[in-house]
Amino acid sequence: MDSACGEASAAVGPFYCPADQKVYIDLDFFYELQQEYQAPGDFAQAYVISHEIGHHVQNLLGTMEYVDRQNRYLSREDQNELSVALELQADCYAGVWAKQAMYDDLILESGDLEEALNAATAIGDDTLQMQYQGYVVPDSFTHGTSAQRVAWFRKGMDAGLVSDCNCPELPNVG
């Protein structure tokens, strides 16, 4: 399948394409999430989707454009650092959604939050690097550690406000 951001496949993983404002998820990824990353459950999937929608929010608020502009002048290491900030903020937005889902829409079942937190742990940069290459290279992180991803999801969930996901590396919104 083609997107305005290139080919969308299970190998690429889920992503948000700012050019056409769509989220692309090959459904095989959810099978991988369950089998390979040991993160089963419908709310693990909901976390992945809401993280990508978090990028859409960042696009609408101008945060993505800000990052694109900054990236022109930054070294690879600094670009990675900014990428981590962007990704953790998207995790935080996913948490904001989870709070709404819990208190307003009442769609959460017991065990759901654990599924999301387990998924956030499973796809942390340090955990993935350890699993696939046996060692960790923090300068190459683009999404944050497992502990950071869990912490930012929780931060959004506790606060429930987009403005509580502000961080020093990115423009304040909300």
Query: Least Å distance between CB 34 and Zn ion?
Result: 19
How many other CB atoms sit within 10 Å of the CB of residue 119? 27
Query: Least Å distance between CB 122 and Zn ion?
Result: 14
C-alpha dihedral (151, 157, 160, 163), degrees to nearest 10: 20
Query: Least Å distance between CB 55 and Zn ion?
Result: 6
Count of residues engaged in binding Zn ion, rule: CB under 5 A: 2
Biggest distance spanned by C-alpha atoms of the chain: 46
| Contacts of 133 by beta carbon, 8 Å cutoff, 6+ apart | none
Nearest to Zn ion of 87, 115 (CB atom): 87
Residue 72 exposed, middle or buried by CB count within 10 Å (0-12, 13-18, 19+): exposed
C-alpha atoms less than 13 angstroms from C-alpha of 41 in its C-beta half-sphere: 19
* Inter-CA distances, 171 with 2, 40, 121, Å: 31, 34, 26
Query: Least Å distance between CB 51 and Zn ion?
Result: 6
Nearest to Zn ion of 46, 103 (CB atom): 46
Query: Least Å distance between CB 14 and Zn ion?
Result: 8
How many other CB atoms sit within 10 Å of the CB of residue 26? 16
Q: Scanning residues 51 to 90, which ones bind Zn ion (CB under 5 A)?
A: 87, 90
Nearest to Zn ion of 105, 157 (CB atom): 157
Nearest to Zn ion of 25, 159 (CB atom): 25
Confirm or reject binding of residue 125 to Zn ion (CB under 5 A).
Answer: no
Nearest to Zn ion of 90, 157 (CB atom): 90
**What count of residues does the chain have?**
174
Chain residues that interact with Zn ion, rule: CB under 5 A: 87, 90
